[in-house]
Structure 1
Amino acid sequence: MIHDIVAQVASWGFGSFDAEAGKWSTFLYSLQKKARDIIPQTIRTEVINALSELLALSSSKDEYICQCIADSLVKIDPRNKGAVMSLCQIIKNSKDEKIRQSAVESFLNVVPEDAKAIATLIELLNNSKSQNIRQTISKNLDNVTHGDAGEHPTFDKIVNRQAAH
């Protein structure tokens, strides 16, 4: 019963995949916003399960919805591997600059918790063609590493290379 209620609230917040229509269906913005505000106040494990299910459904269907779900999920569970992987894929593959930027900002919520996430940020800093994304990562990476770039020897090289361009 609780699972069904949480799943319904998550569906109101992020929509659901309509197999017959072959597309992602969403609800009115006001309902989405209220549902997204309620989600963190519900039973944590049920929310994580419901959002993880929605994330698995949305990942190949709609990158904006996927980014929104992953953002909510990392706010509740910063170590959620599915959310972290989805954000990485969006950052690396999305053609939409705004979605990529939002995914980077969501991803920054994960970084202090995860050394692999710091390495991924350094890789993204090195490989991203987007000046906005590089600036966002650069601003936050020093805070994340607490000024100790020595732990990440490629950090200085990447920042210096970016400054030279």
Structure 2
Amino acid sequence: MLKNRLLLGLAVIVGVLAACTKPEVYDANAQLAIDEAIIKDWAAKHGATFTRDDSGLYYRILTPGTGANDIAATDTLTVEYEGRLMTDSIFSKATADNQFKFIRNSVMPGWEIGLNLIKPGGKIELLVPSLLAYRNYVTPGVPANSVLYFNISYKKVAKKVDKTK
């Protein structure tokens, strides 16, 4: 009985001490520097040249697309894409048989920035630093602080219909 109480007391003390540890602080600037080194190595390994915008997103426009690019934050976009980790393993994709439809302002910042660079019918490759993707959060198939590669074909945009008129 005394032994069980001592073990329980010890377990409580260890639990309290573990709960008091300070969580790791996310340093966006330090992570961006790490991510940029990864991006440059990956691009060199693949013999590819990307343009860097002010946000830190690296992109390569394959086809600019046509038409107007006056996309509102609430418009629905349809794309086909392939998402890869820097190990070149595919973690997500949407094909012609299963296109990805989303409201423009509901995706990661890297996608919002990148898709603003092309028009419907366009194709773009993105190297997205973790700051513009999932940051230090783990998502299915994607470890924390992952740099991501996307090859995106922008199929169409559907304007949001104002039902109040």
Please state which band the TM-score falls in when normalised by the shorter chain.
under 0.3
Q: TM (normalized to structure 2)? A: 0.24
Answer 1 or 2: which has greater strand percent. 2
Give the structure with higher Rg (CA): 2
Higher relative contact order (CA 8 A, sep 6+): 2
Q: TM (normalized to structure 1)? A: 0.24
